[in-house]
Copies of this chain bind each other. A is one copy, B any other.
Amino acid sequence: MSIEKAEQAVAKLEIDKKYYPNFHIAPVAGWMNDPNGLIYFNGQYHVFFQHHPYDANWGPMHWGHLVSDDLISWRRLPIALAPDQEFDRSGCFSGSAVDNSGELCLIYTGHIHLSGEGPTEKIYQTQCLATSKDGIHFEKHGTILAPEEGIMHFRDPKVWQQDGRWWMVVGKRDLDDVGQVVLYSSEDLKKWQLEQVLVSDIDPDVYMLECPDFFPLGDKWILMFSPQGYKAKEYQYRNLFQSGYIVGEWQPGRPFTIIKPFQEMDFGHDFYAPQSFLAKDGRRLVFGWMDMWQSIMPSKADNWAGSLTIPRELILDADNNVRNRPIKELEALRSEQFSLSNLTLNSEVVKTDIDAVSCELKVEFDLTASDAERFGLELAVTKESKTLLYVDLQSNRIVLDRSLSGEGVRGYRSVPLPKTETLTLHIFLDSSSIEVFINEDLYSISSRIYPTPSTERKVNLFAENGTAKVVAVDSWQLKSIY
């Protein structure tokens, strides 16, 4: 399973682009999941991603690769890692990247199937190192950190440099099926010593913490990860797996003191495995995988599957919430603008001229002058499908409803309605996704949608059983990132 063979395979996959994103990172063909190795290195931003280049289903993991000068215009590079060594023979699983004195180092999980798949599977996972001078071609150096005897799930290393040492967090399922994030440190990226277990047993049902990330934000330390096992509880933990964070205080040699327990980070159907990185100006940015395990992925029939979110900036607010908002660079994607203002809806649906195939929308409602039971937007409206985003004044929530979003995706996700006088819905609509940012960065909702193929996808405003006051609508067509 060499890189050359993988490149040949992916080149042979012909894709149908009806759901293919215009301004989101997706595989040229085949399967994508987690973002990996995010880094600003040698004047360029690198995005790697979990990739199966042979078909649109998950399979032996490779690392796909793109670069950008500005975070909005992306160029595809050859596959960076293929599972071609004994220590990573079943897959090059997720990991991160660091700049080691001008050498681009990838620290990833070498995945080995010891026997079969399914309930009786035995796996072995170690952290491995690969390095590159040119940022394109990587040399593998094998396992740098192996788990204790009997541990099967031990993966997704995130590495950073601080106070003259290298630090690594790894997700681990311990022998009692308790999910943990474990911290290690190293002088040289090769020999690692255990520092401490940062968190363990955050919930009786949680058995694994995937994709940990640990970084300072404001005056706190954020432990971001993707827990597996939470049971749904009313509006919480509604997806198969979650992604979120714990806020605390930490410094090398000291325990991690938790200030705020686990919070979900995004409230849509499709957000997993976010990984952070530093922009060249020091902002903490993040990409997530905008899909969910075991979800309907109709684009598999088109020979591709998987998309990342738009890049987002992380902010710590005064109440120790980690908020995320679209990076300002995305404004450079804007082309034709359409605006309207001061519109009052009375139990009606009002059509707009906005084309919603690849667009950004900012819609501001005056909550003090709106009493409709439900009011908001019908998005990506085709003859047979539409996605609803609305304020519900009965439940006092903002709802993204996919009941009519196409291709069998269903279900709604929602967040509390903020007690502000105005409400701003900032929306990014691509061919098969919607990302909503509420009051700039109070909440985000990210979901995949599959509008029936149509040259036109419109945007309507509506108010049900009452009045809604729309202060302003601004929309922009968005250009391609390729």
Contact = CB atoms under 8 A, between A and B. Distances in A.
Interface stretch (A102-110, A299-307, A390-398): A390-398
A234 B347 contact: no
A232 B410 CA distance: 30
Contacts of A395: 234-235, 395
B394 A234 contact: yes
Interface string A382-412: 0000000000011110000001000000111
A394 B465 contact: no
B373 A411 contact: yes
A94 interface: no
Contacts of A412: 373, 394
Given A374-B411, A410-B347, A411-B373, A394 B238 contact: yes
A127 interface: no
A465 B240 CA distance: 10
Contacts of A396: 234
Count copies of this chain in the complex: 2
Contacts of A371: 232
A378 to B, nearest CB: 11
A440 interface: no
A465 B235 contact: no
A90 to B, nearest CB: 31
Contacts of A347: 410
B238 A373 contact: yes
Interface residues of A, number: 19
A99 interface: no
A394 B235 contact: yes
Contacts of A465: 410-411
Contact of A411 (B234, B403, B411, B464): B464
Interface string A35-49: 000000000000000
A256 to B, nearest CB: 32
Interface string A230-248: 0010110010000000000
Q: Which 9 A-B pairs have the closest CB atoms?
A: A411-B465, A410-B464, A373-B411, A235-B394, A411-B464, A395-B395, A410-B465, A234-B394, A234-B396
Interface of A: 232, 234-235, 238, 347, 371, 373-374, 393-396, 403, 410-412, 414, 464-465
5 contacts: A234-B393, A235-B394, A373-B410, A373-B412, A403-B464
